[in-house]
């Protein structure tokens, strides 16, 4: 396989979900999530190593118990637009929800980021799992699952139609003739669907990569179908080689069934990488990091998230796990269902479920640089991953990955030593999508020629 | 008056409304409106001269006949966020509509820009005059006038409430005690109004200037009330000293009636400044620039804009001006009414109205550097303006303003030679608004003390 391993870096400032105390680490500024200079520094570090992209997560609902990064953070697209002019090559992927954005507005913002970055924008499409988000957008309750996924699919389709408003040769800008626009190359959208109605056209031209790259995560049946139909990159959890291989095969199978080239759908598990001088030292660091943020009480609070931030403190810890799946209906349903089913199958009490969640997890990507490089290669070669979205717990760990792990992968021909192209699609080995109207005209002209 | 003259620079890339052919000027790159480097260069030029702000206009509806800048442009907030990290001090003011944005989403984007720029963000509140915008947001027709202005007022109030979600001391981030957030300093919004319902809180802290600065334009009665109640800066047209003085007095009177300090509402007419070696040379340049874009046909097309881009080509040019005010109902009604009333009062034909619109206008700010400086000073001293929003037709003209006009004003004590503060509020001489919850608690505590 000629392709290298794709690497994204998840930039989360003061720590991700389940990491309430990451900011206590002296390496992490307490205000990292609202400090643009901190983001610029991390992104430039990743770019110097020719990594493919940085990735910004998002959520728009908080309670006083939310992890620090969620409490106080920059909005992904304004953040990425600032990074766009302080970096040169690295891809810029931001999370935005299809549940609480208008397609015209959001498509325009991504198109603008794509031009500002000269073709490096990516959109991580989410439907918002935090049901409380609805209250910030005038709804009494969050959309049901079917509506969320129906909106997501239609939102992507409208956005891609809007992004093709102008063909690539729409602007002659010819001073001799005084012709700025060729109006035959401007196309209204005229979309009137179940969830959205958008006349168009969008008032912004295509970028050097044609359209922003689509990313998606979501493990439910609906989520997998959505990703397989529309996404160029799929973010997922890293479990085991076998399970992730099965996930990748499933997605690529669905993509093929939808008429797409499976190799143009990149599977990118999110992984925690910790490099130590010895495997033991790295495992100890993993455990120390885990313990920093996983007290029983924090795990009890965090357990509520997939259930719409349901408060589990109201239940008897030693009674059987309560019957709470109803609260997950408009939240992170897949994740909640897995928790409930496991508790049922093993007859677990609430305390046992919390203990399981607070228990240390062992990432497959912890050890010496060689151990980590071997694990990454094994996953890649087994077809369990086309690349990895790296969660960086500490800036010094990003440096160790870059300085110690990457050289090994480069030696093995699995990582680039520099960028070969300029756009995010170039980095990912994805073709630039042709404008649909240009294609349609070419097809019509071919038909005319073909008719005797 | 201790205050200097405020100066904004309107950055419009390939030209503003009525300037279809500005891009033919060799100084203007044909793709200026989508070239972030062009914007960065202009903003840095303005910043080197310690001007107060750059201003980005907007619209979200185009036809093939729209002026080049409208056809293809960057979205204001992504654009300004990029400028934020390539400038240090200059204010960054972007246009965004309250008709087709959700308050939570938009307030969050401005708050993010405000943090990224370390307190330099401003929001030019508009209600969208182009009725066709509705079609891009799922509506059959644009909101009526009352709804537009009702939404605008409520949108600003919700946004300002959201921006006060965190008090300034909300984040102890104390590593000793492990306390990141003081939850007593986090406040839900719980707004349930006629147009919007937003539970909050916003997940982003206040910037060094407290809240983004509010700008507004709008000449109707509703528009003037909105500006007087909420705006820190009012953009308006430059007509004559007398008329602008009357406008300023009216706005400041309304502000005082609403309980505000009139001097904290800055009146900023938009002006075209052209500097020449002689007054005659400057006037010739003005005329040449005017003729470039004001053919009869272009004026005929442009006349349609306030009437919802109504097509006037369907009428007999030599018949009385047609009865078309109905088309302006959900568009730029005030401007359209003025046109219709003038035509009626003077019994003008359509051709005569178009001729009037295509006729050269003489800006009061065209001439030698001394002429321009004198005019600016006269307007400022007469109370017709607290400052000016300069429309720059050519980069070389911005340079001449900076190199030739500003030194004269500095000598007269009317312009700064450098920034005295770091935030946009500092530049404008506006106080940092205290957080409403901090104020309320202080008031409650004072009450407790006062009670014997």
Q: What CA–CA distance (Å, rounded) separates B130 from B308? A: 6
Left if phi > 0, otherwise alpha if psi is -120 to 50, otherwise beta: which for B309?
Answer: left
Only one residue has tokens 């439907």, namely A127
pLDDT for B452: 54
Q: What is the pLDDT of residues B280-308, one digit of tens each?
A: 999 999 999 888 877 888 888 889 988 98
Q: What CA–CA distance (Å, rounded) separates A109 from A366? A: 38
B95 in a known ligand binding site:
yes
**Residue A140 is encoded by which pair of tokens?**
């009494």
Q: CA quadruple B63, B65, B70, B71: dihedral positive or negative?
A: positive
Closest CA to B374 of B400, B412, B403: B412
Q: What b-and-e string marks burial along A332-357, b requiring 16 or more CB atoms within 10 Å of the CB?
A: bbbbbeebbeebeeeebbbbbbbebb
Is B448 within the bounds of a domain?
Answer: no
Mutate to test the interface with A, among B20, B33, B75 (most CBs of A within 10 A): B75
Residue B317 has pLDDT above 90, yes or no: yes
Is B212 within the bounds of a domain?
Answer: yes
> What string of H, E and C letters represents the secondary structure of A265-307?
CEEEEEEECEECCCHHHHHHHHHHHHHHHCCHHHHHHHHCHHH
For residue B354, give its domain range. 295-358
Give B170 to chain A, closest Cα distance, Å. Answer: 11
Q: What CA–CA distance (Å, rounded) separates B40 from A252? A: 43
Only one residue has tokens 């990451």, namely A22
Q: What CA–CA distance (Å, rounded) separates A169 from A172? A: 7
Q: Chain A residue closest to B177 (CA)?
A: A24
Inter-chain CB proximity B31 and A173 less than 8 Å: yes
Calculated CA dihedral for residues B105, B106, B107, B109, nearest 10 degrees:
90
B52 & B100 share domain: yes
A108 with B202: CB under 8 angstroms?
Answer: no
ipTM of the complex: 0.95
Query: For A179-278, where are the alpha helices, taking DSSP H only?
Result: 221-230, 241-257
Helix, strand or coil, per DSSP, at residue A231: coil
Inter-chain CB proximity B73 and A171 less than 8 Å: no
Give A412 to chain B, closest Cα distance, Å. Answer: 38
Q: What CA–CA distance (Å, rounded) separates A255 from A230? A: 9
DSSP string, B104-144: HHHHHHHHHHHHHTTS-EEEEEE----GGGGGGGT-SSPPP
A123 with A214: CB under 8 angstroms?
Answer: yes
A271 & A200 share domain: yes
A224 & A264 share domain: yes
Q: What is the pLDDT of residues A232-284, one digit of tens each?
A: 999 999 999 999 999 999 999 999 999 999 999 999 999 999 999 999 999 99
Closest CA to A235 of A94, A135, A374: A94
Helix, strand or coil, per DSSP, at residue A51: coil
Is B285 within the bounds of a domain?
Answer: no
Residues of A in contact with B73 (CB under 8 A): 203-204
Average pLDDT over residues A334-362: 90
Closest CA to A97 of A124, A69, A70, A135: A124
A305 & A241 share domain: no
Q: What CA–CA distance (Å, rounded) separates B142 from B154? A: 18
Give B322 to chain A, closest Cα distance, Å. Answer: 28
Residues 6+ apart with CB under 8 A from B139: none
Is A34 within the bounds of a domain?
Answer: yes
Residues of A in contact with B113 (CB under 8 A): 78
Residue A141 neighbours by CB distance under 10 Å: 12
From residue A264, how far is each of A50, A208, B2, B16, B46 by CA, in Å? Answer: 21, 19, 64, 42, 45
Calculated CA dihedral for residues B92, B97, B103, B106, nearest 10 degrees:
-40
Is A321 within the bounds of a domain?
Answer: yes
Inter-chain CB proximity A102 and B138 less than 8 Å: yes
pLDDT for A1: 39
A40 & A120 share domain: yes
User: Does residue A29 have a cis bond before it (omega within 30 degrees)?
Assistant: no
Domain count, chain A: 2
B159 in a known ligand binding site:
no
Residues of B in contact with A88 (CB under 8 A): none
Give the domain CATH number at A185: 3.20.20.30
Is B288 within the bounds of a domain?
Answer: no
A71 with A80: CB under 8 angstroms?
Answer: no
Residues 6+ apart with CB under 8 A from B396: B27
B382 & B257 share domain: yes
A46 with A92: CB under 8 angstroms?
Answer: no
Residue A2 has pLDDT above 60, yes or no: no
Q: What CA–CA distance (Å, rounded) separates A113 from A212? A: 9
Q: Which of B358, B376, B410 is where one domain is finished?
A: B358
Residues of B in contact with A60 (CB under 8 A): 104, 108, 203
Task: Give me the half-sphere count of Cα atoms (radius 13 Å) on the Cβ side of residue B172.
Answer: 12
Q: What is the pLDDT of residues A157-214, one digit of tens each?
A: 999 999 999 999 999 999 999 899 999 999 999 999 999 999 999 999 999 999 999 9
Q: Which of B343, B358, B373 is where one domain is finished?
A: B358
Is B124 within the bounds of a domain?
Answer: yes
CB pairs under 8 A between A and B: 191
Inter-chain CB proximity A112 and B68 less than 8 Å: no
Arithmetic mean of pLDDT over chain A:
94
Q: What CA–CA distance (Å, rounded) separates B449 from A261? A: 73
The confidence band for B451, taking pLDDT boundaries of 50, 70 and 90, is low
A270 with A235: CB under 8 angstroms?
Answer: yes
Average pLDDT over residues A365-383: 98
Q: Chain B residue closest to A34 (CA)?
A: B115
Q: What is the pLDDT of residues A383-433, one digit of tens each?
A: 999 999 999 888 999 999 999 999 999 999 999 999 999 999 999 999 999
Residue A25 neighbours by CB distance under 10 Å: 19
pLDDT for A295: 81
Q: What CA–CA distance (Å, rounded) separates A304 from A312? A: 6
By percentage, how much of chain B surpasses pLDDT 70? 99
Helix, strand or coil, per DSSP, at residue A441: helix
B166 in a known ligand binding site:
no
A210 & A133 share domain: yes
Residues of B in contact with A190 (CB under 8 A): none
**Residue A216 is encoded by which pair of tokens?**
């998606």
Q: What CA–CA distance (Å, rounded) separates A93 from A73? A: 16
Query: For A331-368, where are the alpha helices, taking DSSP H only?
Result: 333-345, 350-358
By percentage, how much of chain A surpasses pLDDT 70? 99
Mutate to test the interface with A, among B105, B119, B163 (most CBs of A within 10 A): B105
Structural element, H or E, at residue A408: helix A406-411
Inter-chain CB proximity B72 and A204 less than 8 Å: yes
Name A235's bridge partners: A217, A268
pLDDT for A133: 94
Mutate to test the interface with A, among B13, B30, B88, B136 (most CBs of A within 10 A): B136
Q: What CA–CA distance (Å, rounded) separates A208 from B31? A: 14
Q: What CA–CA distance (Å, rounded) separates A326 from A328? A: 5
Residue A137 has pLDDT above 70, yes or no: yes
B388 with B258: CB under 8 angstroms?
Answer: no
B351 & B384 share domain: no
Average pLDDT over residues A346-363: 90
Is B438 within the bounds of a domain?
Answer: no
Helix, strand or coil, per DSSP, at residue B389: strand
Q: What CA–CA distance (Å, rounded) separates B225 from B234? A: 11
Q: What CA–CA distance (Å, rounded) separates A4 from A33? A: 31
B114 & B199 share domain: yes
A201 & A321 share domain: no
Pairing of strands B191-192, B197-198: antiparallel
Q: What CA–CA distance (Å, rounded) separates B59 from B96? A: 9
Average pLDDT over residues B348-371: 92
B140 in a known ligand binding site:
no
B101 & B168 share domain: yes
Q: What CA–CA distance (Å, rounded) separates A102 from A80? A: 20
Q: What is the pLDDT of residues B5-34, one digit of tens each?
A: 999 999 988 887 778 888 999 999 999 999
pLDDT for B1: 39
Q: Which of B307, B323, B358 is where one domain is finished?
A: B358
Q: What is the pLDDT of residues B170-229, one digit of tens each?
A: 999 999 998 999 999 999 999 999 999 999 999 999 999 999 999 999 788 999 999 999
Residue among B34, B78, B175 minimizing CB distance to A81: B78
Inter-chain CB proximity A135 and B197 less than 8 Å: yes
A160 & A255 share domain: yes
Q: What is the pLDDT of residues B36-68, one digit of tens each?
A: 999 999 999 999 999 999 999 999 999 998 889
**Residue B40 CA to its chain's centroid (Å):** 19
């Amino acid at each position: 396989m000629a392709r290298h391993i794709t690497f994204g870096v998840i930039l989360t400032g003061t720590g991700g979900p389940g990491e309430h105390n990451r900011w206590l680490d002296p390496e992490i500024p307490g205000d990292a999530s609202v400090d643009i200079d901190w983001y610029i520094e991390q992104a430039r570090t990743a770019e110097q190593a020719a990594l493919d992209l940085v990735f910004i997560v998002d959520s728009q609902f908080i309670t006083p118990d939310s992890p620090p990064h969620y409490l106080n953070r920059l909005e992904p697209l304004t953040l990425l637009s600032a990074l766009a002019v302080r970096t040169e090559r690295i891809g810029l992927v931001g999370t935005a929800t299809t549940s609480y954005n208008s397609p015209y507005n959001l498509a325009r913002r991504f198109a603008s980021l794509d031009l500002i970055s000269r073709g490096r924008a990516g959109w991580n499409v989410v439907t918002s799992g935090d049901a409380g988000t609805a209250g910030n957008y005038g709804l009494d309750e969050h959309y049901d699952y079917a509506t969320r996924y129906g909106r997501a699919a239609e939102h992507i389709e409208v956005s891609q139609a809007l992004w093709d408003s102008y063909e690539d040769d729409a602007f002659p800008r010819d001073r001799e003739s005084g012709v700025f626009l060729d109006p035959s190359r401007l196309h209204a959208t005229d979309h009137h669907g179940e969830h959205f109605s958008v006349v168009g056209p969008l008032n912004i031209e295509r970028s050097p990569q044609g359209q922003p790259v689509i990313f998606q995560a979501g493990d439910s049946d609906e989520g997998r179908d959505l990703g397989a139909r529309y996404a160029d990159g799929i973010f997922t959890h890293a479990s085991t080689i076998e399970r992730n291989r099965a996930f990748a095969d499933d997605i690529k199978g669905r993509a093929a069934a939808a008429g797409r080239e499976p190799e143009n759908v990149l599977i990118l598990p999110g992984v925690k990488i910790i490099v130590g001088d010895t495997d033991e030292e790295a495992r100890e660091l993993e455990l120390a990091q885990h313990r920093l943020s996983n007290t029983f009480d924090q795990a009890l609070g965090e357990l509520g998230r997939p259930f719409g931030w349901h408060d589990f403190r109201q239940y008897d810890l030693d009674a059987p796990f309560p019957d709470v799946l109803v609260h997950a209906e408009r939240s992170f349903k897949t994740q909640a269902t897995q928790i409930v089913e496991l508790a049922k199958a093993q007859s677990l009490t609430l305390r046992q479920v919390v203990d399981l969640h607070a228990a240390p997890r062992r990432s497959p990507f912890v050890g010496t640089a060689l151990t980590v490089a071997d694990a990454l290669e094994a996953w890649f070669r087994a077809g369990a991953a086309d690349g990895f979205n790296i969660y960086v717990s500490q800036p010094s760990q990003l440096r160790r990955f870059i300085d110690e792990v990457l050289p090994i992968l480069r030696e093995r021909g699995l990582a680039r030593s520099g960028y070969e192209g300029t756009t995010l699609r170039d980095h990912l080995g994805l073709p630039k999508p042709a404008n649909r109207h240009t294609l349609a005209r070419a097809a019509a002209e071919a038909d005319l020629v073909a008719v005797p």
